[in-house]
C-alpha cells in the first residue's frame, strides 16, 4: 500500500508524532499509530523516529498502513426505518450516528449489519463481504435515505444510474450565514486534503464535484437550503458549502470550532431519492421527514424570525 504523506505545519510543533498521526489519518487510533511507529511504518524525513518523537513542523511524515484484512460482516438485529422494499431494492431512512458499513473503529452496529439481519442472504454481492448491497453512502452524522440492492442485476442498474446522474438525491441542510442569491451551483473539484487525511477539500485536479442549491428560508445567522447532487463525492455538500463561505450548522470538521449543543454532527438530511426501478423501469421518488433535531432547530430559528 502506498504510504500516506503528511506535512505538519508550524502549529503542530511540540506534538507527539503518534498523536499527530492518529489525528491526521482517518481510522487510525493512537495505539495503532504507536505500533506502526515501532514497526518502522511511520517515518520522518525518510528515516525511523523514536516512539516519543515530537514534531518541529515542516517534516515529511510517511505513514504506511497494513493491507486491510476483509472480514465478513455479521447480521445484527438493529431496528431499521424501511421506507420502501421489494424483491430488488430496499430504501432505508438512516439515523444520525449510524455508520453505513464496517470500517476501522466501527466493526459492527452498522447499516450493513442491520441489512444482513433484515434481508437475510438477499443482498447483492457486488459490494463484497463488507459492503453487500451498498450502492452509495452517506456520512455517519448525516441522516436520511439510502438505497441498497438485493441482487446483482439491481446493483448494476442502480450503479449505472449513479454514473449517469439519473439517480437523484436531494438534501436539506442549515448553513451558516445569509445567502444573497436564491439559488446557485458550486462546481469545484474535490480530493483528499493534502495534510489532514480525515478531511476533503476543493483541490485543483481533484474529482469533478457539482452541487446545486436553493434557499428554502432565511433566518438570523443561518439559511435553510435544499441541495441536489449532480455528483457524489465524499463530504461533497459539507465541503462545497464551506468553500463558498457557508459551512453547515454543527459541522466541526469544516466550520464550527465546537459542536452545536442542539445538534448531533452537521445539520444535513437526505430527504428525497429518485431512481428508475431496475426491474419495472418505473421512475420512483421516495421522501422521508426531517429528523427531530433538525425540526427543533428550524422551529427555534422561526421563533427568531425569518428574514
pLDDT tens digits, 198-218: 789 999 999 999 999 999 999
* Count of structural domains, the chain: 3
- Considering the domain architecture, whether residues 211 and 276 belong to the same structural domain is answered as yes
Same domain, 157 and 179: no
pLDDT grade, residue 185 (50/70/90)?
very high
The answer to whether residues 170 and 211 touch, using CB atoms and an 8 Å cutoff, is: no
Rounded CA-CA distance 42/46 in Å is 9
pLDDT at 214: 98
On the question of pLDDT at 30 being above 90, the answer is no
| Domain residue limits at 36 | 4-63
Contact indicator for 256, 163 with CB cutoff of 8 Å: no
* Residue 143 belongs to some domain of the structure: yes
Would you say 44 and 64 are in contact if contact means Cβ atoms under 8 Å apart?
A: no
Q: Which of 145, 74, 143, 82 is nearest to 110 (CA)?
A: 74
30 shares its domain with 146: no
Residue 143 forms beta bridges with which residues? 269
In this structure, are residues 94 and 146 in contact, taking their beta carbons and an 8 Å threshold?
A: yes
Q: Residue 97 has which C-alpha cell?
A: 450516528
pLDDT, tens only, 274-298: 999 999 999 999 999 999 999 999 9
Eight-state DSSP code of residue 201: E
**Cell numbers linked to 207:** 474529482
Burial category of 227 from C-beta neighbours within 10 Å (exposed 0-12, middle 13-18, buried 19 and up) = buried
Q: What is the CATH number of the domain that holds 36?
A: 3.10.290.10
CB 170 within 8 A of CB 145: no
pLDDT in tens, 38-91: 889 999 998 988 889 999 999 999 998 876 555 578 899 999 999 999 999 999
Catalytic residue, chosen from 139, 152, 182, 251, is 139
The answer as to whether 39 is a domain residue is yes
> Is residue 216 in a domain?
yes
Residue 126's pLDDT band (cuts 50, 70, 90): confident
Q: Is 237 helix (H, G, I), strand (E, B) or coil?
A: helix
The verdict on whether 141 is a catalytic residue reads no
246 lies in a domain? yes
Residues 178, 43, single domain; the answer is: no
Question: Both 170 and 279 in a single domain?
Answer: yes
Look at residue 257 in the predicted model and tell me its pLDDT. Answer: 81
The label of the residue with cell 454481492 reads 125
Q: Give me the pLDDT at residue 121, please.
A: 80
Q: Is 70 part of any domain? A: no
**Strands 268-276 and 222-229, bridge-based pairing:** unpaired
**Are 169 and 233 members of one domain?**
yes
Which three cell numbers mark 64?
Answer: 504506511
Quick check: is 302 in a domain? Answer: yes
φ, ψ of residue 217 in degrees (nearest 5): -160, 150
pTM for this entry: 0.77
- Provide the pLDDT confidence category of residue 25 given band limits of 50, 70 and 90: confident
Amino acid at each position: 500500500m502506498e504510504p500516506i504523506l503528511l506535512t505538519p505545519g508550524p502549529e503542530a510543533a511540540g506534538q507527539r508524532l503518534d498523536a499527530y498521526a492518529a489525528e491526521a489519518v482517518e481510522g487510525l487510533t493512537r495505539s495503532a499509530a504507536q505500533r506502526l511507529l515501532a514497526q518502522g511504518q511511520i517515518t520522518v524525513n525518510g528515516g525511523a523516529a523514536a516512539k516519543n518523537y515530537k514534531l518541529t513542523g515542516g517534516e515529511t511524515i510517511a505513514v504506511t498502513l497494513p493491507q486491510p484484512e476483509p472480514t465478513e460482516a455479521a447480521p445484527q438485529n438493529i431496528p431499521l426505518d424501511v421506507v420502501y422494499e421489494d424483491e430488488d431494492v430496499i430504501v432505508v431512512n438512516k439515523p444520525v450516528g449510524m455508520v453505513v458499513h464496517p470500517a476501522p473503529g466501527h466493526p459492527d452496529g452498522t447499516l450493513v449489519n442491520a441489512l444482513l439481519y433484515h434481508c437475510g442472504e438477499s443482498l447483492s454481492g457486488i459490494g463484497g463481504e463488507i459492503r453487500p448491497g451498498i450502492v452509495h453512502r452517506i456520512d455517519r452524522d448525516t441522516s436520511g435515505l439510502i438505497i441498497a440492492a438485493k441482487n446483482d442485476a439491481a446493483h448494476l442498474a442502480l450503479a449505472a444510474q449513479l454514473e449517469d446522474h439519473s439517480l437523484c438525491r436531494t438534501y436539506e441542510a442549515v448553513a451558516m450565514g445569509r445567502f444573497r442569491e436564491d439559488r446557485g451551483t458550486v462546481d469545484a473539484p474535490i480530493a483528499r486534503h493534502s495534510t489532514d487525511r480525515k478531511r476533503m477539500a476543493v483541490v485543483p485536479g481533484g474529482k469533478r464535484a457539482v452541487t446545486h442549491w436553493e434557499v428554502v428560508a432565511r433566518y438570523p445567522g443561518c439559511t435553510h437550503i435544499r441541495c441536489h447532487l449532480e455528483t457524489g463525492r465524499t463530504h461533497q455538500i459539507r465541503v462545497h458549502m464551506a468553500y463558498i463561505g457557508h459551512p453547515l450548522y454543527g459541522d466541526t470538521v469544516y466550520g464550527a470550532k465546537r459542536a452545536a449543543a442542539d445538534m448531533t454532527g452537521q445539520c444535513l438530511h437526505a430527504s428525497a431519492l429518485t431512481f428508475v426501478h431496475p426491474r419495472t423501469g418505473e421512475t420512483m421518488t421516495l421522501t422521508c421527514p426531517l429528523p427531530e433535531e433538525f425540526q427543533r432547530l428550524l422551529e427555534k430559528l422561526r421563533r427568531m424570525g425569518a428574514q
